Amino acid sequence: MIKRIFLGKHKVKFNFNEDLFFSIYRNDLFVKDLGNILNAENKEIFSIKSKDVIKNRDKIKNIINNILKKKIEKIASNNRRKIDATFFLSDGLISLTNLSWFIFLIFTRIIEKYENKELELILPTKFQTFQRPKSSFELHSLSHNVNFIDFLAYKFLFKMCPSSWQIVFKENIIENIRMPKEENINFQARTFFGLSRCSNEQFDIFSSFVLGIFLWIKKVKRTNFYFPDKKDIKNVENIKIPDKFNEIFSEIINQFLPEYFYSNLQNDFYLFSILPIYRSGYSRLVNTYSNNDRYNLFNMVAANKGEKLINFQHGLTYGTRLIMGKAEFREYLIGFFISWGWKSHGNLVNSLFKMPSPLLSKFNILRKRSKVKNHIIFVGTTMCLCEISFTSKPLITNLFKYREDKIKFLKNINNGILSKLFYKGGDSKNNNFLSDSKYLKEYITNLKICESNFRKYFACCRLAVIDHPTTAFSESMTANIPTIGFWDCDSWAFTEEAKYEFEKLKKVGILFDDPISAANKINEIYPNYEAWWNSEHIQAVRKDWCSKYALQDKNWLTKWISIF
């Protein structure tokens, strides 16, 4: 039997034991049980582990620096006004780069395995029509559209297909996916009330206004004495990127670089340059949202006028992840950075100040005002099959293991504990998301799902279980909620500093490497969670960890004013 590789969603009957599916990011292909239907060969080809992410990190850097940035600067600059493409490396453009390299990498694996064998490449006869996106926001939405990923994959597969393979076009099922509309109301309100100087998403309207005033009239300490210290100086110029990839990726950029770069950018550049609102040596606390190309241009002009841009941490990934698939290309490079407590993020950036998070501080207040009830909250994270970025988290087929670990945990806790547990999973509204809540209930029929008022349930729980190292873990720890964490360190790669600090949590039984050990710990401390959690040695380790990765303060705004 000739092996077949399918791209897209087809009407043809699949041979699940033999066929390979390139469109593995399409959860709608296999209804609900994608992880169990895929054969071992398919899973192996599409497996992206931490070592693969690390191995490909510098190649992504090379592509961004030597193809993407140069292409942006060539298209958007003119003789009078040159742009710095670093400011325009939006999530949309970074996602497109990662996605393109992922497709190339996987297809290269397939070619290496089957190049001299008979093989049928089954391609779609029709695709959803895609126009040049107007903005980076539209491009970012496209990069998470399974039809668009199929379209990009077709470009690579058709041009890279070995001559020994047979290309067959078959009728496919195409369902046009509506693109979301950009909503900037909160961002615009913060920018307006923050007097254009404080637009960071962690601050509400009032605090944006207060900090905006201070940013207008006072300089931020330290910013005039040294430049942001970017520590990662590794040269990636000599890393070889295959010519075939360069050729195809250049075509993709030419086709899908947002319209803004061709049309309005230079006019806006001129208008922003003549605005009388810049003060050399003064600072702006900028928004980390990067898909607004006009806002990126404004920040570039402000920096050119001598202003100091400051970014602020907005999640636990900062300071802990070994690889930051987006922040290390833009956020860490355009200005200073303020952390939730850490001094340096590996070899990427040093923190200008260590400041309390408004987000964590407000949740801590909510916890203190809540009457603690008798339930447990188990928090999962979004599992998006088409969120393809070479960063330190589970990707593609590793998401199936992440989901299976939840089942192992739930099956190993006592029934009395399970009866008090609510599960809060990730988004499941789109076909490319793994519907973990629905999936788990098929195995654990009496599992209760937290479908609304999550933060209320979270704030008043007796015990929190977190299976991923993101902001929910920081919130639980800093609010002093009895907390058990578990995750697979082969999927979540950390800096040496973060690994050392997480190891302290493991030694006292707060954090575990596997779900069964975590379940056994909860069985052990049930029902006296508080007695265990409030013990002197647990609290000492918790406070020490929070001082480095989760600062909060009830008077956080006063603390922030002290930076001037």
Other C-beta atoms closer than 10 Å to the C-beta of 189 total 14
Reported as a single tens digit per residue, the pLDDT across 281-315 is: 999 999 988 999 999 999 999 999 999 999 999 99
> What is the separation of C-alpha 64 from the centre of its chain, rounded to a whole number of angstroms?
18
- Of the pLDDT bands very low, low, confident and very high (cuts 50, 70, 90), residue 28 is low
The arithmetic mean of pLDDT across residues 258-270, rounded, is 95
pLDDT, the chain, mean? 90
Q: Which of the pair, 485 or 124, is modelled with greater confidence? A: 485
The number of C-alpha atoms within 13 Å of 28 and in the hemisphere containing its C-beta is 16
| % of the chain residues with pLDDT over 70 | 94
Q: Whose structure tokens read 């100091």?
A: 308
Q: Which two tokens stand for residue 76?
A: 């958007």
Position 550 confidence tier, pLDDT thresholds 50, 70, 90: very high
pLDDT band at 234; cut points 50, 70, 90: low
Q: Is the Cβ–Cβ distance between 505 and 545 less than 8 Å?
A: yes
398: confidence class by pLDDT, cuts 50, 70, 90: confident
The answer, yes or no, to whether residue 340 has pLDDT greater than 90, is yes
Q: How far apart are CA 244 and CA 160, in angstroms?
A: 8
How far is it, in rounded angstroms, from Cα 208 to Cα 222? 21
Q: Which two tokens stand for residue 430?
A: 């789109």
Q: Please report how many Cα atoms fall inside a 13 Å half-sphere around the Cα of residue 432, on the Cβ side.
A: 23
Over the stretch 417-430, which tens digit does the pLDDT of each residue have?
A: 999 999 998 765 65
Among 100-109, 182-191, 309-318, 468-477, the least confident range: 182-191
CA distance 71 to 69: 5
The alpha carbon torsion through 205, 550, 348, 426 (nearest 10 deg) reads -80
| Amino acid letter for position 17 | N
Q: How far apart are CA 437 and CA 423, in angstroms?
A: 7
Q: By three-state DSSP, how is residue 61 classified?
A: helix
Please give the DSSP secondary-structure letter assigned to residue 172. B
Secondary structure (3-state) at 526: coil
Q: 3-class DSSP state for residue 221?
A: coil
In sequence order, the 6+-apart residues with CB closer than 8 A to the CB of 112 are: none
> Tokens for 226?
């040294």
Backbone φ and ψ for 358, nearest 5 degrees, come out as: -60, -40
How far apart (Å, rounded) are the C-alpha atoms in residues 326 and 329?
A: 6
Q: How far is CA 403 from CA 47, 383, 395, 437, in A?
A: 15, 9, 12, 10
Mean pLDDT of 355-375: 96
The per-residue pLDDT for 225 is: 60
Which of 208, 471, 137, 282 has the alpha carbon at shortest distance from 200?
208
Q: What is the mean pLDDT of residues 163-180?
A: 81
d(CA 380, CA 368): 24
> How sure is the predictor about 78, in pLDDT bands with cuts at 50, 70 and 90?
confident
Predicted confidence (pLDDT) at residue 240 exceeds the cutoff of 60: yes
- 146-166 pLDDT per residue, tens: 899 999 999 999 899 998 899
Nearest Cα residue to 38 out of 298, 523, 469, 401: 401
Average confidence (pLDDT) over 92-111: 96
Angstrom distance (rounded) from CA 340 to CA 337:
10
- How far apart are alpha carbons 138 and 182 in whole angstroms? 8
The average pLDDT across 112-131 equals 88
Give the integer Cα–Cα distance in Å for 261 and 297: 10
* Least confidently predicted of 116-120, 283-287, 318-322: 116-120
Sign of CA dihedral 291, 295, 297, 299: negative
Whole-Å CA distances, 455 to 450, 461, 464, 471, 474:
10, 10, 12, 13, 14
Q: Is the pLDDT reported for residue 401 higher than 80? A: yes
The residue assigned the tokens 């988290």 is: 393
Sequence-distant (6+) residues with CB within 8 A of 422 are 375, 376, 377, 378, 448, 449, 450, 457
Whether residue 238 is predicted with pLDDT greater than 70 in this model: the reply is: yes
| C-alpha span between 398 and 78 (Å, rounded) | 45
DSSP string for residues in 327-368: GGGTTTTSSEEEESS-SEETTTEE-SEE---HHHHHHHHHHH
Closest-CA residue to 376 (of 478, 522, 515, 535): 522
Q: Residue 119: enclosing H or E segment and its boundaries?
A: strand 119-124
Q: How far is CA 249 from CA 66, 86, 365, 374, 441, in A?
A: 12, 19, 49, 54, 42
pLDDT at residue 35, rounded to an integer: 56
Comparing CA positions, the residue from 403, 385, 491, 382 lying closest to residue 21 is 385
Sheet of 119-124: strand order equals 20-21, 3-6, 119-124, 166-170
pLDDT in the model for residue 233: 46
Query: Mean of the pLDDT values across residues 488-501?
Result: 92
Interval 521-529 mean pLDDT = 96
The pLDDT value recorded for residue 228 is 53
- Cα 62 to Cα 49, 59, 434: the distances in Å are 20, 5, 32
